[in-house]
Amino acid sequence: MGKRVLLFPLPFQGHINPMLEVAALLHSRGFSITIFHTSYNSIDSTKYPLYRFILVEDGGISGRFRSVVGDAMQRITAWNNNCEQLFYDCLTSVLSEKNEEPIACLIRDTHWYNLQYLANKLGVPTLVLRTGSTATLNWYMTFPQLIQKGFIPVQESQLNMPIIELAPLRMRDLPCLPDCSHEVLRDLFTHAIDAIRASSGVIVNTFDAIDSTEVENFQKEIPIPVFCIGPLHKFTPPARSSLLDPDRSCLDWLDMQSAGSVLYVSFGSLACMNFEELIETAWGLANSDQPFIWVVRPGSVLGKDKVDLPDGFIEATSGRGKIVSWAPQQEVLAHAAIGAFWTHNGWNSTIEAICEGVPMICRPQFADQMGNARYVMHAWKVGIELEGKLERGNIEMAIKRLMREDEGAEIRQRMRAMKHEASLSIKSDGSSSINIDKLISFISSFKIL
Ligand code: UDP
């Protein structure tokens, strides 16, 4: 009889994708898969006929994602509180099933922190999936200390101050969220870290060549196993976990463009802009004279359900601009016509760009994006920053710097080397493949329930 692994992603796109990639990986190694999901951003189970899905009704917090809505943190706290009893009931019911395969472990998202204690109470070994980098966990640990030392809230004059223990971060690169106080963030990070301490180990969507120092630093504080098994999407078939339907026509459009000529513009599943920024972005792209694909997600302009592009923009970019409401991003980035990625530096987007050797224009907005961008620009030097007010002149200049000037050529060269590192990690003797084998042995060593 085989073994079952239970998985519970946090219901945001950037958390669902990597969790389903872990599911696919474990399924390919003979484990049966049971996925818990919430009615908010519920997963389309028909796309995964080989898995079992269990809906954890989340106390009325249903809906579909549209934007970061300023209250993402409150949502996470509410989910943790509202789902506690509901998840407990689901878990006890699954554990009591007599005719099903035995359970090896639970893999939960970092931010499902309350569930850790329930799983411990029921004796279910639990691993944490960190969908961001390992470095983010070190930021979480240090954040409360920086508050205690009086560095947070950050003074204007200290924004560029380096944080020695979190190099290469400066104060301005620390995680933050719109409309979210540093106390709320501190509590969230503290909950996340405390629950990790109570877990059996951490799985991270990263690879040793870019994150091993951060893993060492993490393990000095929390000596539990860490499995860097990314880039996860390179171990699994193309993702089917998009919450929006990807517009695949952009792949045909890319086939008609010359190699390395197209700028891909996407800010992930949650980041938003105001209407003025939308207009500046449109004219910046138009004035750059560079072919582009621009993902304009429904709801991505604050206060507008329907996004209206400025008059004359479609005509001005006809033949070299492609607008989609959602792209098959991993395939787009892997296309030979793509030459650069203007990104918000969500971790998934960042690692997907690295895998395909696509240099980045970084425009981070919130959460871990500023820190990720700092690594991209200053540790790995594979991107440039789009600084200051979002304004058409700055945008045009950044695109030209990266895609046409010598500086861009050097960045592309470094990016090719990084892509090579990523490709080595997934070879059969590469670090991530070895770590996957270790993870499988680790999971198999748990006493089955
Ligand atoms: N994504 C996609 N199509 C799009 C935009 C994003 O498939 O048009 C995917 C992208 O490949 C990534 C995820 O959505 O896997 C976004 O995660 P990320 O961590 O980059 O950003 P977040 O949405 O969490 O801010």
Look at ligand 1, atom 2, and give the residue with the nearest C-alpha: 329
DSSP of 334-391, one letter per residue? Answer: HSTTEEEEEE---HHHHHHHHHHT--EEE---SBTHHHHHHIIIIIS--EEE--SS--
DSSP state of 293: E
Residue 223 CA to ligand 1 center (angstroms) comes to 31
Which residue, by CA, sits nearest to atom 5 of ligand 1?
268
Hey, which residues does 4 pair with through a beta bridge? 32, 103
> Coil, helix or strand for 231?
coil
Q: Pocket around ligand 1: residues whose beta carbon is below 6 Å from it?
A: 12-14, 17, 242, 246, 266, 268-271, 295, 326-327, 329-330, 346-349, 352
Residue 447 pLDDT > 90: no
CA distance 225 to 393: 48
Q: Is the pLDDT of residue 306 over 90?
A: no
Pairing of strands 52-56, 32-38: parallel
What is the spatial distance between Cα 313 and Cα 18, in angstroms, rounded to a whole number? 36
Between the CA of 76 and the centroid of ligand 1 the distance, in Å, is 19
Q: How far is the CA of 446 from the centre of ligand 1 (A)?
A: 33
Q: What distances in angstroms separate CA 298 from CA 66, 199, 245, 275, one per listed residue?
A: 7, 38, 12, 13
Q: What is the DSSP-derived secondary structure letter of residue 63?
A: B
pLDDT surpasses 70 at 342: yes
pLDDT-derived band at 38, boundaries 50, 70, 90: very high
Task: Residue 106: count other Cβ atoms within 10 Å of its Cβ.
Answer: 27
Mean pLDDT for 210-221 is: 97
| Mutation to probe ligand 1, out of 329, 333, 350, 354 (largest number of atoms < 8 A from CB) | 329
* Other C-beta atoms lying within 10 Å of the C-beta of residue 182: 18
Q: Whose CA is nearest to atom 7 of ligand 1?
A: 329
Distance 14 CA to ligand 1 centre (A): 6
For residue 163, give the 3-state DSSP assignment: coil
Please give the model's pTM, rounded to 2 decimal places. Answer: 0.96
- Sheet containing 360-362: give its strands across: 321-324, 292-295, 262-266, 338-343, 360-362, 383-385
- Quote the tokens at residue 48: 């995964």
pLDDT band at 243 (very low <50, low <70, confident <90, very high): confident
Q: What local confidence, expressed as pLDDT, does residue 64 receive?
A: 60
Query: Distance from the CA of 424 to the center of ligand 1, in angstroms?
Result: 24
pLDDT, tens only, 422-434:
999 999 999 999 9
State the DSSP H helix or E strand holding residue 203, giving kind and residue range, or none if neither. strand 201-204
Q: Which is the closest atom of ligand 1 to the Cα of 324?
A: 8
Lowest mean pLDDT across 73-82, 181-190, 365-374, 439-448: 73-82
pLDDT tens per residue across span 252-279: 999 999 999 999 999 999 999 999 999 9
Burial class, 417, CB count within 10 angstroms (exposed 0-12 / middle 13-18 / buried 19+): exposed
Strands (E), 350-427: 360-362, 383-385
Identify whether the C-beta of residue 445 lies closer than 8 Å to the C-beta of residue 201: no
Distance between CA 348 and CA 319 in Å, rounded? 30
Domains identified in the chain and CATH numbers = 4-235+426-444 (3.40.50.2000), 249-424 (3.40.50.2000)
> Looking at the predicted structure, is the pLDDT value of residue 59 above 70?
no
